[in-house]
Structure 1
Amino acid sequence: MIASGALLAAFALQFVFAAVGAFTQPAEDGSYRLHSITGMAVMPALCLVTTLFAALARAPGRVIALTLLPFGLVLLQVLLATLASAFTGPSGASTPLGLTIGGLHAVNGIIAVHVVAGVLREALKPAAQPSMAGTSA
Structure 2
Amino acid sequence: MRKALVIVSILLLVAFALQFVFAAVGAFTKPAGDGAYALHSVNGSAVIPALTLLTILFAVLAKAPGRLIGLAVLPLGLVVVQALLAMFANAATDAAGASTPFGLTIAGLHAVNGIVAVHVVVGVLRGARALASPAPAGVTPVPVREGEPA
| Counterpart selection for 1:87 from 83, 92, 104 | 92
| Counterpart selection for 1:102 from 99, 107, 119 | 107
Which residue number in structure 1 is paired with residue 16 of structure 2? Answer: 11
Letter in 2 for 1:50: T
| Counterpart selection for 1:56 from 44, 57, 61 | 61
- CA offsets per residue over residues 75-119 of structure 1, 9 Å max, x none? 100000000001111111000110000000000000100110000
Letter in 1 for 2:48: M
Higher helix share: 1
Q: Which runs of 5+ in 1 are unaligned?
A: none
- CA offsets per residue over residues 51-75 of structure 1, 9 Å max, x none? 0000011101111001001111111
- The CA distance in 2 between the partners of 1:82 and 1:126, in whole Å, is 38
| Counterpart selection for 1:35 from 11, 33, 40 | 40
Deviation at 1:127, TM superposition (A): 3.0
- The CA distance in 1 between the partners of 2:19 and 2:135, in whole Å, is 35
Task: Give secondary structure in 2 for the equivalent of 1:9.
Answer: helix
Task: Give secondary structure in 1 for the equivalent of 2:95.
Answer: coil
- CA offsets per residue over residues 10-64 of structure 1, 9 Å max, x none? 0000000000000001111000000000001110111111000000111011110
User: Segments of 4+ in structure 1 off by > 4 A?
Assistant: none
- The CA distance in 2 between the partners of 1:116 and 1:30, in whole Å, is 28
- The CA distance in 2 between the partners of 1:45 and 1:89, in whole Å, is 35
Aligned residues: percent identity?
65
Q: How does the TM-score come out when normalised to structure 1?
A: 0.93
Which residue number in structure 2 is paired with residue 65 of structure 1? Answer: 70
Q: Which runs of 5+ in 2 are unaligned?
A: 1-5, 141-150
Deviation at 1:126, TM superposition (A): 2.4
- The CA distance in 1 between the partners of 2:49 and 2:131, in whole Å, is 25
